[in-house]
Amino acid sequence: MNSLILNEAPRAMAVECSDDELRVSLTDGRTLSVPVAWFPRLVHASQAQRADYELLGDGQGIHWPAVDEDLSVMGLLAGQRSVESKAALA
């Protein structure tokens, strides 16, 4: 039986964030799409703030400085949502 062995963890190379969707292009050719609703800080951010991101650790993570949001690629791949409530940001 063959099994897939990852030699290198996927990394983010580009990010797009609309009112509804966070799309992350990965270095292995995949595009990951998750609901923005999973991340209250991004929901409350302006489009300009969502567009202003930094890749961390050679693409291991994504940081939005204006809203102090940090996401890891591995967390996104695992389907991890923010544990922060929308009410906590009000």
**From first to last of its 90 residues, what are the pLDDT tens digits of the chain?**
556 655 678 999 999 999 999 999 999 999 999 999 999 999 999 999 999 999 999 999 999 999 999 999 999 999 999 987 655 555
Q: Is residue 89 part of a domain?
A: no
CATH number of the domain encompassing residue 72:
3.30.2020.40
| Number of folded domains that form the chain | 1
Q: Is residue 4 part of a domain?
A: no
Report H helices in 1-90.
40-43, 47-51, 73-77
pLDDT of residue 84: 77
pTM across the whole model:
0.84
Q: Is residue 46 part of a domain?
A: yes
Range(s) of the domain holding residue 38: 12-82
The DSSP letter of residue 12 is: E
Q: Is residue 3 part of a domain?
A: no
Q: Is residue 37 part of a domain?
A: yes
pLDDT of residue 83: 83
Q: Is residue 75 part of a domain?
A: yes
Q: Is residue 45 part of a domain?
A: yes
pLDDT of residue 23: 98
pLDDT of residue 1: 53
